[in-house]
Amino acid sequence: MSTDPCFGRFSEWKDDLILPCPEAHAYGLCRELIPSPESMATPTAINTTFGAAYIGVVAAGVLYGVSFVQATYYFIKYRQDVWYIKTLVGAVWFFETVHQVLISHTVYYYVITNYNNPNTLGDIVWSVLLEVLFNGLIGLLVQGFLTLRVWKLSDHNVPLTLAVSSLVLACFGCSVAFTVQSMKLHTWVELGELKGLSMAVNLLGAVADVVIAAALFFFLHSSRTGFKNNSVLATLNARESIRKLGEDSDELSFSLQSLAKSGQRNPNSARSTNISIKIDTMHDYNREHGMDMAEPGVSGERSTPVRRYCIGLSGAVALVPESAMLVPDEDRCSVDGPLLANLAVDAFLCSTDRREGRLLNADSRGLFLRQAATKRPSLPPGPKGLPLVGNILDMPSDKEWLTFAQWGETWGDICSVTVLGQPVIILNSAKVARDMLDKKSAIYSDRPVLQMGGELVGWKNTMVLLPYGDRFRRYRRLFHSLIGSQSAVKRFYPAGELEARRFLRRLLIKPDDLSAQVRITAGAVILRISHGYEVKECHDPFVEIADLATEQFSLSTAPGGFLVDLIPALRHVPKWFPGAGFRRKADQWSATLSEMVDGPHNFVKQQMASGTAQVSFTSTLLEGKCLSAQEEFDIKWSAASLYSGAADTTVSMVNSFFLALALYPEAMKKAQSEIDTVVGNERLPNFEDRPNLPYNNALFLEVLRWHTVVPTAVPHRLMQDDIHEGYFIPKGALVIPNIWKFAHDPRVYSNPFEFNPERFLPAKGRVPEPDPREFCFGICPGLHLADASVFISCVMSLAVFNVSKCVENGVVIEPVHGNTTGTISHPEPFKCSIKPRSEKAVSLILAEP
């Protein structure tokens, strides 16, 4: 439908501020009514002000009349059209009407109400601002409808549709923002502050129009049947249902009964095929093959228009009956075997006057059969999504592992959702995850591109988000050589024991500040190993910035945490745009990450230059080598990966360990009794004691299972199509293992919601239940290091401290086990009482190592 301009331009006004007009670029007209201060200083000629406004109103009225006639004709001619198309046409016409009323009011205000008072031209009338909003609504409806056509004609091309949708929505959002902000202003001079926003509306709208027009031209042209007189309209109207042809129509060149005949000819073949068929007429066949077989009295051109039908058959296959096969044997396109009923056929059927008869043209320009692909299995089941956007509204933003587990109960161990065309596979079984992510690691080791955490913040350079490739393999070699196994980590045991002793001393002094002491210790262990840095007791700058960065990592990579991860095009939204707060947040988090990565690395280089560097992960890789910039970049980010892979997980594990001791005192007493028996009270436990402390190991494992530190892990990305357990997993699909469900699966763990360390101990007639550390699929930077540092901190704490529920004013404060949302989940804040077991324990804490 046509759209109208608002006003003509007041040509003598200078430095005009253009009002947003999404249709201006589409119809070659613009709406401008903004004088500059200079122009208001002197009287303005009638011809270039009121005259221009008059011309604009007349032009707008003419175009509105065209729109009105079109709308009227549509409702008279197409009364049987579907309700939503009629609603769309009616809504556009209604908004056009309101738009015209607002235009008329604006001109009436300046020309009639304030006749011969040019000073009022400096004031803004409300209608001229409100028309921008209605103009945006018209653009949203029209461009939105055309975007839907692009989606359908492009065979559901998601990237293209998302790009166009983003432009349309951005244009409308700018229109709304302009209207809201401009309503607070009173003069055209003040409106100059919104010039950038108004230009954004016009630019976004123009780009959207161009992209939509180009896409429709391309796809409509590609959909033409190939006949000379076949128009675009005919191509669109060709998509009719097969029922319109009638069951007994002799104009159909296909017969469903031939499906049985085909099966009888070769009953042993069962090949699934997708077929596209176009049937030509005898006249076209004769013309293309130089044959003159026209009947007498029939001219060389068609005597009647060709009727074309585009039939989509779903659930059935139509084959050409042998009676219709009039072409030579060598030109026939035969299909062996029964084509199963779940195939799809697109048949372009053409019929002519019966006097001409029909002929199947086996030429590539006539009848052709195209075997597109063998039919593949379907995606795993899952909740039903909405058209175009899929399951975007079903994706949880808080504690997503619980929702995923509920889906697993309904849909099975492998379920799937689709978010804006992106398949997401949820795994709710450890066995299935192991079969896919471990046994097929060659195709499941890739990582998705996370727009917020990876691209905008910068965590894409760490091991955990690094795509599978050369850099990934280089990082893996670096880790494996230094901390990739338990035997390799042993070289760092002394550093771990030293920092664990310091943790005990800090906890003795500040028992009410458990979380802070845990964070200092975790940072101290990792920084000593990764960079040879010894942290300060209070407010260490490297620890504080690293804690902040890892907290931001957990937030920025949480599934469903940011819309930009689902709509990547949003990363290009300007930072000033309404709703683009994530862009500003990403800049802040990126600066934090850079400081965390560069600070410790530069410290090591300075220490090495002065000859005082301690042995560490970084110094070992830098020492005595002439490295390229890329090699040093890899070392720097490998060390950062070490911190991000171990520090925050260590904090979560140690905090959850103390929470478990407060909630389950019987388990704590059993562990302490074992330590007293094996180690005694003359020294603290060390790493060599671990094999002799089975209950303490079991308690440690139960805490890991009970509080899942990484509930859903970072998603994997499939590098090629896969079939697993009969389900099709497409290339590029995101695969999310629900580790929380693995650890609470009643098929794996007896009474999974009961805290029971004995489940990991062998007993008569009972096999120990699976180790939850096995749920770390693929490469986990710092896994062995975190395991060692957490165990030594926990077992030393058990040796010298009693942990119990806090009592305030005679009331016992009951801790609650809750999980925070994020890639790394921490226990919700809790209080507990931490006291030395005895004076001997205090002396052990204060003793020098």
Q: What is the pLDDT of residue 647?
A: 78
Would you give the distance in Å from CA 791 to the centre of its chain?
37
What confidence tier does 274 reach under pLDDT thresholds 50, 70, 90? very low
What confidence tier does 370 reach under pLDDT thresholds 50, 70, 90? very low
Has 780 been labeled as part of a binding site? yes
pLDDT tens-digit series, residues 75-107: 777 777 777 788 888 888 888 888 788 888 887
Q: What is the pLDDT of residue 443?
A: 93
Strand blocks (E) in 317-410: 344-351
Q: Cβ(67)–Cβ(93) under 8 Å?
A: yes
> Which residue has better confidence, 521 or 714?
521
Give the C-alpha separation, 269 to 265, whole Å.
9
pLDDT above 60: residue 431: yes
Supply the pTM of this predicted model: 0.57
Q: What is the pLDDT of residue 376?
A: 59
Which helix (H) or strand (E) segment holds residue 276: the answer is: strand 275-278
Which helix (H) or strand (E) segment holds residue 663: the answer is: helix 629-663
* DSSP string computed for 504-525: HHHHHH-TT-HHHHHHHHHHHH
Give the C-alpha separation, 449 to 636, whole Å.
21
Looking from the CA of 44 toward its CB, the CA atoms found within 13 Å total 26
Average pLDDT over the chain reads 75
Average the pLDDT over each of 123-127, 526-530, 597-601, 660-664 and give the range with the smallest value: 123-127
3-state SS assignment for residue 477 = helix
Contacts of 305 (CB under 8 A, 6+ apart): 229
Please compute the mean of the pLDDT values over residues 770-792 and round it to a whole number.
Answer: 79
Please compute the mean of the pLDDT values over residues 368-378 and round it to a whole number.
Answer: 48
pLDDT above 80: residue 757: yes
What percentage of the chain has pLDDT greater than the value 90?
29
What confidence tier does 432 reach under pLDDT thresholds 50, 70, 90? very high
Please compute the mean of the pLDDT values over residues 105-119 and round it to a whole number.
Answer: 75
Please compute the mean of the pLDDT values over residues 539-563 and round it to a whole number.
Answer: 85
Of residues 368, 808, 823, the one with CA closest to residue 552: 823
For the chain, helix, strand, coil in percent to 5 are 55, 10, 40
pLDDT above 90: residue 729: yes
Please compute the mean of the pLDDT values over residues 125-147 and round it to a whole number.
Answer: 82
Q: Cβ(636)–Cβ(727) under 8 Å?
A: no
What confidence tier does 375 reach under pLDDT thresholds 50, 70, 90? low
Give the C-alpha separation, 539 to 54, whole Å.
71
Q: Cβ(573)–Cβ(583) under 8 Å?
A: yes
What confidence tier does 736 reach under pLDDT thresholds 50, 70, 90? very high
Please compute the mean of the pLDDT values over residues 572-599 and round it to a whole number.
Answer: 90
Q: What is the pLDDT of residue 47?
A: 61
Average the pLDDT over each of 8-17, 310-319, 839-848 and give the range with the smallest value: 310-319
Give the C-alpha separation, 202 to 32, whole Å.
12
Which residue's structure tokens are 């005192």? 665
pLDDT above 70: residue 287: no
Greatest mean pLDDT among 100-104, 201-205, 284-288, 720-724: 720-724
Give the C-alpha separation, 463 to 477, whole Å.
11
Please compute the mean of the pLDDT values over residues 590-595 and round it to a whole number.
Answer: 94
Q: What is the CB neighbour count within 10 angstroms for residue 184?
A: 7
Contacts of 499 (CB under 8 A, 6+ apart): 521, 524, 525, 528, 789
DSSP state of 17: -
Give the C-alpha separation, 336 to 155, whole Å.
28
> Which residue has better confidence, 253 or 772?
772
DSSP state of 537: S
Burial of 773 by CB count in 10 Å (0-12 exposed, 13-18 middle, 19+ buried)? middle
pLDDT above 80: residue 320: no
Q: What is the pLDDT of residue 116?
A: 67
Q: What is the pLDDT of residue 440?
A: 92
Q: What is the pLDDT of residue 754?
A: 95
Give the C-alpha separation, 112 to 591, whole Å.
58
Q: What is the pLDDT of residue 46?
A: 59
pLDDT above 50: residue 178: yes
Please compute the mean of the pLDDT values over residues 412-436 and round it to a whole number.
Answer: 93
Query: How far lies 394's CA from each of 76, 420, 585, 663, 723, in Å?
Result: 41, 12, 25, 35, 25
Please compute the mean of the pLDDT values over residues 458-483 and round it to a whole number.
Answer: 83
Q: What is the pLDDT of residue 236?
A: 41
Q: What is the pLDDT of residue 472?
A: 85
pLDDT above 90: residue 19: no
pLDDT tens-digit series, residues 567-579: 788 888 888 887 8
Burial of 682 by CB count in 10 Å (0-12 exposed, 13-18 middle, 19+ buried)? exposed
Please compute the mean of the pLDDT values over residues 717-736 and round it to a whole number.
Answer: 93
Q: What is the pLDDT of residue 70?
A: 82
> Which residue has better confidence, 658 or 327?
658
Please compute the mean of the pLDDT values over residues 395-406 and round it to a whole number.
Answer: 91
Strand blocks (E) in 369-436: 414-419, 422-427
Please compute the mean of the pLDDT values over residues 580-598 and round it to a whole number.
Answer: 93
